[in-house]
Amino acid sequence: MLLADFGTSYCKLWDTTTTAPLLIPTKEIDQDLQVDLATGHNGKRHASRYVNELTALARGGNALIDADNYTLLDCGSRDIKFIRYDQGKIKNMGWNVECGASMGFTIELLARYYNLDFATMQVPESSFSVTCGVLGMSHIFDAVVSGASEAEAVAKFVKGIALNAYNFAGSPDLIYLSGGLCHNPLFVASFPCEVVSLGRFVLLQGLKTICDEQTY
């Protein structure tokens, strides 16, 4: 079974006969590629069956998190979404495309442009008020013009993005984090709560769970 999460910047592919999923830049994906089951913004073009991203996220969370009460937040290149479970049942969910616009993509772009290593950067005491990754870049340019270092300005931007995502998810004491930004140490450390990073492949795990249930 070939499963895929077709993200904006990266696609995650998993041949379930192998041991690990693959991470491939979206621009390198063969446009004629067809998979058995997919999720992601472009999944319907490449799959015989499509699963909504919130559904895949919820099923993946259930498979990976051993708890009845939790909040799972997915931060991707283009948007943010969350699932909140209470007593083993979905209590709330949300999906923010406009105000999470190109959030992860913008952070990755800034790192390349300014040649920054997020693993070596400290969480700043203050942050910018950022509700959109693209529009929020103006804060960085203004700060640099005013004399701030590029690293300091970007760090405040990243913290602002993290705080916006945290508030969107309902400001819980503990967040399980999904998506590519799990691998950004500055972003993870900027949350004002405990964070458990689950990595990039939670939605793929959700697809795998759906497949397994239909097989047996």
Helix (H/G/I), strand (E/B), else coil: 31:
coil
The full set of domain ranges for the chain reads 2-65+201-215, 95-199
Residue pair 202/57 in contact (Cβ under 8 Å)? The answer is yes
- How confident is the model at residue 113, as a pLDDT? 92
Cα distance between residue 207 and residue 99, in whole Å: 27
Instruction: Tell me the pLDDT of the chain averaged across its residues.
Output: 91
2-65+201-215 has which CATH code? 3.30.420.40
Question: For the whole model, what pTM was predicted?
Answer: 0.91
What sign has the CA pseudo-torsion 47, 50, 53, 58?
A: negative
Cα distance between residue 119 and residue 190, in whole Å: 12
Cα distance between residue 62 and residue 44, in whole Å: 24
Cα distance between residue 204 and residue 49, in whole Å: 14
- How confident is the model at residue 215, as a pLDDT? 57
Name the pairing type of β-strands 37-40 and 2-6: parallel
Selected from 3.40.1210.10, 3.30.420.40, 3.40.50.2300, 3.30.720.200, the CATH number assigned to the domain covering 95-199 reads 3.30.420.40
Same fold, 2-65+201-215 and 95-199: yes
Q: What would you report as the CA-atom Rg of the chain, rounded to the nearest whole angstrom? A: 18
> pLDDT tier at 216 (50, 70, 90 boundaries)?
very low
CA angle 75, 93, 134 (to 5 degrees): 35
Name the pairing type of β-strands 194-199 and 174-178: parallel
Work out the percent of the chain whose per-residue pLDDT is above 70: 96
Least confident of 36-40, 103-107, 109-113, 177-181: 103-107
> pLDDT tier at 134 (50, 70, 90 boundaries)?
confident
- How confident is the model at residue 99, as a pLDDT? 55
Token pair in block for residue 6 = 């077709």
Q: Which of 199, 207, 205 is nearest to 75 (CA)?
A: 199
Note the pLDDT tens digit of each residue in 158-197.
999 999 999 999 999 999 999 999 999 999 999 999 999 9
Q: Counting beta carbons within 10 angstroms of the beta carbon of residue 186, is it exposed (0 to 12), middle (13 to 18) or buried (19 or more)?
A: buried
- How confident is the model at residue 97, as a pLDDT? 64
Dihedral pair phi/psi, residue 183, rounded to 5°: -95, 15
Token pair in block for residue 37 = 């089951």
